[in-house]
Amino acid sequence: MQERLKIKNLSKNFVLHTQNGAILNILNNVSLEVRDGEIVALCGPSGVGKSSLLKAVFGTYRISQGDLVINCGAKEIHLAKASPAEIIELRKHTIGYVSQFLRVIPRVPTIEIVANAAIEAGASSQQATEKAVALLEQLRIPKKLHTLSPLTFSGGEQQRVNIARAMSAPRPIMLFDEPTASLDPENKTTVLTMIAGLKKSGTAILGIFHDRNDREFLNAREVEMEKYKEPENA
């Protein structure tokens, strides 16, 4: 299978100007690849840099050193030097990111939020709405809630809306930050089955799955992040 994402000696540091210029070297020489139809799970204790690596892949965290090469089919994008316009294109067509938090415009109904993701990716409004309803039902969001804004939903409901939104327009590379963290067992299985479905259809997946059983269910290749930590005596 094709290598879709190649991380090459990537380092990330933060310079905290407002805190006496403290420097945090949070990722050091990270190298890994993700292929089409593969799930790579980032492992390691809290604070080791798992979420930060996902944000670097999505282009939110700027890369301090090294590179991140994304295969977009026709061409390769080197994220370390990509322009904002190139990153916007990547997000439209190539990389999807499911963060732990739902960020939406207030007062917009859930159904629209989910459907809009597909409309932005080119689906017709009717197709998108039908798919949105199906996804929300599959994720057990009660019908009554579909026309309400998700901002007042419970944590687990919001997480499922976030997942429905991602699933309505999946990209060839998908990043998941603890997608099942606040879900009950039944919904957890639904979400994991959806992710496994993406994998089967050839999506390259990089994610954080806290639970070992989840990683086993997904047949994920584990990458231990501890080795990319800054050495204590540095």
Enumerate residues 103-132 that contact other proteins by CB under 8 A. Answer: 103-108, 116, 119-120
Assess 152 for contact with other proteins (CB under 8 A). no
Using CB under 6 A as the binding criterion, the count of chain residues that bind ligand ATP stands at 10
Nearer of residues 51 and 187 to Mg ion, judged by Cβ: 51
| Side chain identity, residue 163 | I
Q: What letter does residue 141 receive in the DSSP assignment?
A: -
Whole-number Cα distances in Å, 155 to 110, 126, 180, 182: 14, 29, 11, 7
Residues 26-45 that bind ligand ATP (CB under 6 A): 26
Residue 47 contacts which entry, other proteins, ligand ATP, Mg ion, none (Cβ below 5-8 A, type-dependent): ligand ATP
Q: Which of 94, 93, 99 is nearest to 162 (CA)?
A: 99
Q: How far apart are alpha carbons 19 and 35 in whole angstroms? A: 40
The rounded distance, in Å, linking the Cα atoms of 12 and 5 is 18
Per CB under 6 A, 24 contacts ligand ATP: yes
Q: Is 14 in the site for ligand ATP (CB under 6 A)?
A: yes
Beta bridge partners of 15: 23
Q: How far apart are CA 114 and CA 161, in angstroms?
A: 7
Closest CB to ligand ATP among residues 51, 94: 51
Question: Please, which residue, 121 or 181, has the CB nearer to Mg ion?
Answer: 181
> What are the residues facing 27 on neighbouring strands?
12
Residue from 5, 34, 51, 112 binding ligand ATP (CB under 6 A):
51
Residue 84 sits in the site that holds other proteins (CB under 8 A): yes
Sign of CA dihedral 212, 215, 219, 225: negative
The phi, psi pair for 199, rounded to 5°, reads -60, -45
Q: Tell me how far, at minimum, the Cβ of 71 lies from ligand ATP, in Å.
A: 25
Q: How many whole angstroms separate alpha carbon 209 and alpha carbon 25?
A: 24
Smallest separation (angstroms) from other proteins to the CB of 105: 5
Binding mask 15-34 for other proteins (x = CB under 8 A): xxxx----------------
Q: Which residues bind other proteins (CB under 8 A)?
A: 14-18, 55, 59-62, 84-85, 87-88, 103-108, 116, 119-120
